[in-house]
Chains A and B, each alone.
Chain A
């Protein structure tokens, strides 16, 4: 199948993804922490953006991958894609949690509060809850086929939250600043844009690399369990025969 071939081809470049992520992140960290100037209004706190924004973008990308993969799974019932969806949900949950945590740290010196029930923050937290529910579904249902199907449906239903997160800063009056990247252009200076782009590319590559490792891990884990189960049943059958 096409998707198998694509996954296998991409897996061959796993090392390149890892090295690329390391290089981009090191360059981004150097430019962001040492080389770039402080912001006129935010001061040094602007440097938190270089880790918070890439984490948030990557978590949204993770959710898009999860929902597209879930649609594909419901259509083709492909176990490899299901495996990838399971892997991406865990990574998405981690990236979302870290984006929320770094956002809270930025919020304290800037808004003078760790948390506020702002539309962007609330809709983003809903995404974390959906991801956690997805992982719980995958843990507590015994039948693997049912588990994969229900989880895929949940992931597709949760897709509704994505446009809400994206447009929340335009639909409602929020404390969160409006989008810096839009159809109207980029509203930031190159001194901020360069480290941000470096970190964003690095974080996306890191996510892809982690996805490959996690998919591999889940596959090997299942393979080991299946093989052990099969050996055990063979052993029981030979025992009952004798």
Chain B
């Protein structure tokens, strides 16, 4: 039985490691900030800005991928200059994730791309529901096999008739 617990302990450690890697990946590549957080933190590196295009502010050649508008979020708005691939989902009152850099000198967010809105909760839910019951079931079965072997050995039931 000790080897069983050791094996499962090892697997648990690997699972925790993988979860940490996934969480870090999410934080680095998929997490978003609101206009309010961006103004507070004033980040220098590229960020993913999450908010809604304010109605009546969208100007420029939208179809050509060159537009200026205001992005709202948490009662704060920020002016965005988008210059990138022609967008198919940039319109007024649309909730978006913009990838780009904040320029504090002229208070403009320079966006170079529009990202997909992440549904990470569904992904985490599916993986937890898909894998944890299998692991628990397998552990319970392996443990029961070990216990049955021990019971048979101890009760001396397994002997020649």
Contact = CB atoms under 8 A, between A and B. Distances in A.
Nearest to B97: A43
Interface stretch (A66-74, A168-176, A179-187, A222-230): A222-230
Nearest to A207: B134
Given A44-B120, A98-B133, A102-B130, A228 B18 contact: no
A217 B122 contact: no
Contacts, number: 101
A157 B107 CA distance: 70
Nearest to B22: A33
Contact of A34 (B22, B129, B134): B22
A44 B145 contact: no
Interface of A: 22, 26, 29-30, 33-34, 38, 43-45, 47-48, 51-52, 55, 94, 98, 101-102, 105-106, 108-109, 206, 209-210, 213-214, 216-217, 220-221, 223-224, 227-228, 230-231
Contacts of A51: 126-127, 130-131
A105 B18 contact: no
Interface in B12-30: 14, 18, 21-22, 25, 30
A45 B145 contact: no
Interface stretch (B38-46, B63-71, B72-80, B149-157): B149-157
Interface of B: 11, 14, 18, 21-22, 25, 30, 116-120, 122-123, 125-127, 129-131, 133-134, 137-138, 141-142, 144-145, 148-149, 151-152, 157-158, 161
Contact of A105 (B21, B116, B129, B152): B129
Given A26-B14, A227-B158, A217 B123 contact: no
